[in-house]
Structure 1
Amino acid sequence: MLRTPQLCIVQTIAREGPGLIGALAMERGWQLQVTQLWTDQPLPQPQQGQAFLLLGGPASANDGHGRIPELVRLCQYLLAQRIPAMGICLGLQVLAKARGGVIRAARQRELGWLDPQGQPWTLHQTPAGRRHPLLRGVPDPLPVFQLHGEEVVPERSVETMASSPLCHNQIAALGPAAYGVQGHMELDQAMVEHWFAEDDDLRPIAHQARFSQAGLEALMPVGRTLYGNWLTLASRRLASDPAISGDEVKWTP
């Protein structure tokens, strides 16, 4: 019998938490397990009934020091075992790195609520995205909050579901159970306030904080739909695949 599903959240920095995803998961009966990567906490040992949420942070997926290589190895295992996974920002890039993809500096950093022309950042769905259940009910174009200076290089094995002129892989499928979002649709009010107060990349555009209320009013319903869709897909995956909903899965760091 399938256990109560557990969402394993890997957090690389204190201010980049799960936001509305945590509340949404608990509303749906998921248990949360949070690993704080900046401490000595070990990464979760994948077990039956688990999905993984890999969050953002200022590190690079290309880092050869700290705990990023360990996180890449975990992601290689998640991909190989087809364990449900969602990566946000750095999390997307680590998943892509784990499957052999290339992470490079973006042509232009995408930051905050507004693009260089002073317009809200938006993403446009690809034909694949419009057909995919992950984006069911999500508007096209869709709003996003941006905070990244690197990107996943486009390649055939990554199915792009939403893109922007400055960054091709904004929402992507990296396998039958793994997805990633480059921007941030998990934000809630507390997170935005902390980010503009604490993030070195956002301080130069602190004036954009005045757009936060209107931005969140547009963004949060989209985030709830998108990540609600993902939790549904993850639940179905756990229920249907005996390799991940049966006996405990073993992983060695």
Structure 2
Amino acid sequence: MRVNILQHTPNEGPGAIADWCHDRGHEMYVYHPYQFGKLPEASETDMLVILGGPMSPNDDLFWIKEERVLITQLLASDTPIFGACYGAQQIAKVLGSKIGKAPHKEVGWAPVYLQNHVIDGLPEKIVALHWHEEMFEIPTGAHLLYSSDLVKNQGFVFGSHVIGLQFHFEPLADNVREMVVNDGEYALQNNDLKQSPSQILQKQVPSENKQIMYKLLDFITKKK
């Protein structure tokens, strides 16, 4: 299976998603549309991953709009799609939801709580990395998957092959360090989690996060 990954900033890579691709024997192709303006064709995409980034789906940039064209095509063909943070917002916008400021800016580690059991075997509570100040509405026809203490709309499942998460299960320890050393000042500006860059670095990535990431990706790629 060809997994096409859209990366939107140098310091937010696929992390555990890359490990999943390798462990499952899939071919992974990483695109950088913010730099090169290039996106995969729907016909060459067996699965799409849309990673996070500092931009907003509401920004008036041609490649952001072109990403939504691609998402629309893949939704029509029931192709598996996973979105993290900005990526989840892009999916939600295609599905008709509004994207706007969240009631609280969250940067750092905080628990999220499972809101339904459409996917078997997920824990009721898990600590995840948050790095956002915007959020999506839950699309019509989707199930709310996760909520945090500060922001209700933290994740959704749409059908059997689409998942969007406002937070991050994919970063491994190296990825967290890369995010903090390059973008740590983001945590110092009106952060309602009240965590400094050094505090974020001190927290070990829960080993369960990688396992959950695998479970979510296995769910959306299971055969119909």
* 46 and 165 in structure 1: CA distance in 2 versus 1, 3 angstrom threshold: same
CA RMSD of aligned residues (A): 2.0
From 175, 198, 201, the equivalent of 1:191 is 175
CA distance in 1, matches of 2:222, 2:37: 29
| Residue aligning to 1:170 | 154
2:78 touches 2:161 (CA, 8 Å); kept in 1? yes
1:18 touches 1:186 (CA, 8 Å); kept in 2? yes
| Residue aligning to 2:198 | 209
Q: Which moved more, 1:16-25 or 1:37-46?
A: 37-46
CA distance in 2, matches of 1:16, 1:198: 10
Q: Which moved more, 1:201-210 or 1:14-23?
A: 201-210
CA distance in 2, matches of 1:41, 1:228: 29
Shift of the alpha carbon at 1:79?
Answer: 1.5
Q: What TM-score does the superposition give when structure 2 sets the normalisation length? A: 0.89
What percentage of aligned pairs have identical amino acids?
A: 26
| Residue aligning to 1:231 | 217
- AA matched with 1:123: V
How many residues are paired up? 219
CA distance in 2, matches of 1:87, 1:141: 20
CA distance in 2, matches of 1:206, 1:198: 16
Gapped regions of structure 1 (runs ≥ 5): 114-120, 241-253
Give secondary structure in 1 for the equivalent of 2:131: strand
CA distance in 2, matches of 1:73, 1:212: 37
1:79 matched to 2:75? The reply is yes
2:180 touches 2:201 (CA, 8 Å); kept in 1? no
From 57, 79, 83, the equivalent of 2:53 is 57
Q: Which moved more, 1:221-230 or 1:158-167?
A: 221-230
2:111 touches 2:149 (CA, 8 Å); kept in 1? no
Shift of the alpha carbon at 1:171?
Answer: 1.8
Q: Which of the pair has the greater relative contact order for Cα pairs under 8 Å at 6+ separation?
A: 1
CA distance in 1, matches of 2:132, 2:52: 9
* 149 and 211 in structure 1: CA distance in 2 versus 1, 3 angstrom threshold: closer
Give secondary structure in 1 for the equivalent of 2:146: strand
Shift of the alpha carbon at 1:225?
Answer: 2.0
Shift of the alpha carbon at 1:87?
Answer: 0.2
Higher Cα Rg: structure 1 or 2?
1
CA distance in 1, matches of 2:10, 2:188: 17
Deviation sequence 1:102-159 (CA, Å, 0-9, x none) = 111011101112xxxxxxx111111x2xx222xx333221111110010112454231
Shift of the alpha carbon at 1:66?
Answer: 4.0
Q: Which moved more, 1:196-205 or 1:154-163?
A: 196-205
From 116, 119, 122, the equivalent of 2:111 is 122
Shift of the alpha carbon at 1:206?
Answer: 7.3
Deviation sequence 1:58-107 (CA, Å, 0-9, x none) = 00011122421111111111212211000000000000001111111011
